[in-house]
Chains A and B, each alone.
Chain A
Amino acid sequence: MSILSARIASGLLKRNVSLEQVFATIADTLPTCKVRNLAYSTLSILRIKPNGDCHLIEYDNPLLLRLKQGKIAPINRKKREIAGKETFESWFRIEPEDLLVLFSDGVLNAGVGGLYRLGLGYHGVINSVIDWADDYDYAQPIAERLIEVVDACYLGRIGDDSTSVIIKPRHPRTAVLLTGPPASAADDREVVAKFLNYQNAERIVCGGATGNLVARELKREIKTSLQYEDPSVPPTATIQGIDLVTEGILTLNKSLSKLKSGGEEWRKEPRADGATLLCQALTRADRLIMLVGTAVNPAHEEFMSSLQLLTRTEVVARLQEVLSQMDKEVIIEKY
């Protein structure tokens, strides 16, 4: 039911439905004990706007924790009745380096009567999270480690169900990817100049001829690595001032299949083949600009169909679909 409620809430919030209405919609469906009039289900809904403004409604859940520079920053809550439920409502603003911790009562009570007389408690949660908050630049592993602590508190046995959500705000990240030479060689210089104009973005080049083009315009050397981390992916290269330089068609196709697989192994992959590095770079970004050259390499056409490879424009369009599903903004410009 928690997954269903979360899906309903996120769907409504995407449609700009107000937080009160979202809460009321879900609250109406929550079962209550008719004898004791107690909720079987509890709920916290948080909306964060791009400028960091937060609106939070909590109903019978452990209270959200806000950490600023490793210390608790209390939130001013007000009681408010919504849809017949007594809730806590709060408004606050978060900034980069803050950390928000949301969790279910299974986390708060972890180990009760066993490892801890009264369970992990707020202090246990805070201490656990503070210890690792600076170890990661994204939230997922912090949430995973909190659940590992909970599992340890239950001594690995089945206990109460436990959920943790960690939010680590940061400024949006942009990446710009240049792949393929333009259809007309006369546009080479203009397209490369456009690519290089992105200063506060991770700059990625996919393609041998494209790499040569960028190196030529920058008047810098392109150095190709001798290391084959994965025999199915050609080696990467380096150009001073460019963050990632990979081969084109094979690397893009391989990256697409990694992203579509649903697995996350490539996130932690110690190997640094071009496709793994490209997946990591694409998913690091919140906004992606893909500058796609449409020149066709006749030598590639021969093997494209026999190897069931997608063409450059096809693979880029599929990447746009997959990355958009990850809530990334993807802009494609063709030349």
Chain B
Amino acid sequence: MAILMVSVCAGTSCHLLGNQAIVDVLENMPPSLQKQVKFGYTSCLGDCGEGPCVTIGDKVLKHASPERVLDMIKEELAAKK
């Protein structure tokens, strides 16, 4: 089973725009998703005006919200199957 890598930008803007809420959601994903996803923080992605930014696989999600991150994770996992 391929693991989907998710990285939440830990830069100044993304921090102030609520990246912690995204990490909270990732930490509390259902076990079925937890098994398929590996997540962490990443240093500034450079899109500071469009945060919070999250990379999901090889895509960058800008203006991310916890819901949008979870939806995109599900889409990416479905596309991999």
Contact = CB atoms under 8 A, between A and B. Distances in A.
Interface of A: 207-209, 211-212, 215, 222, 224-226, 228, 231, 234-235, 237, 247-250, 297-300, 303, 307
Nearest to B16: A303
B16 A247 contact: no
A224 B41 CA distance: 6
Contacts of A212: 43-44, 46
A189 B52 CA distance: 29
B43 A208 contact: yes
Given A224-B42, A299-B48, A235 B10 contact: yes
Contacts of B41: 224-226, 235
Nearest to B46: A209
A297 B12 CA distance: 10
A224 B51 CA distance: 17
A300 B48 contact: yes
Query: Is chain A's interface secondary structure helix, strand, loop, or mixed overall?
Result: mixed
A211 to B, nearest CB: 5
Interface in B30-81: 40-44, 46, 48-49, 51
Contact of A247 (B11, B42, B46, B49): B11
Contacts of A222: 43
Nearest to B51: A299
Given A211-B44, A297-B12, 12 more contacts: A208-B12, A212-B44, A222-B43, A224-B40, A224-B41, A224-B43, A228-B23, A235-B41, A237-B43, A298-B48, A299-B48, A299-B49
A315 to B, nearest CB: 13
A247 B15 contact: yes
For chain B, what secondary structure do more than half of its interface residues adopt (helix, strand, loop), or is it mixed?
Answer: mixed
Contact of A297 (B20, B42, B48): B48
Contacts of B12: 208, 234, 247-250, 297, 300
Contact of A226 (B11, B40, B44, B51): B40
Contacts of A300: 12-13, 48
Contacts of A303: 13, 16
Contacts of A235: 10, 41
Contacts of B10: 208, 224, 234-235, 237, 247
Nearest to B44: A208
Task: Name the 8 nearest CB pairs between A and B, nearest first.
Answer: A208-B44, A299-B48, A224-B41, A299-B49, A208-B11, A234-B15, A208-B43, A224-B10
17 contacts: A208-B9, A208-B10, A208-B44, A209-B46, A211-B43, A224-B43, A226-B41, A228-B20, A234-B15, A247-B11, A248-B12, A297-B48, A299-B13, A299-B49, A299-B51, A300-B48, A303-B13
A224 B23 CA distance: 13
A249 B11 CA distance: 10
A209 B47 CA distance: 11
A279 B60 CA distance: 34
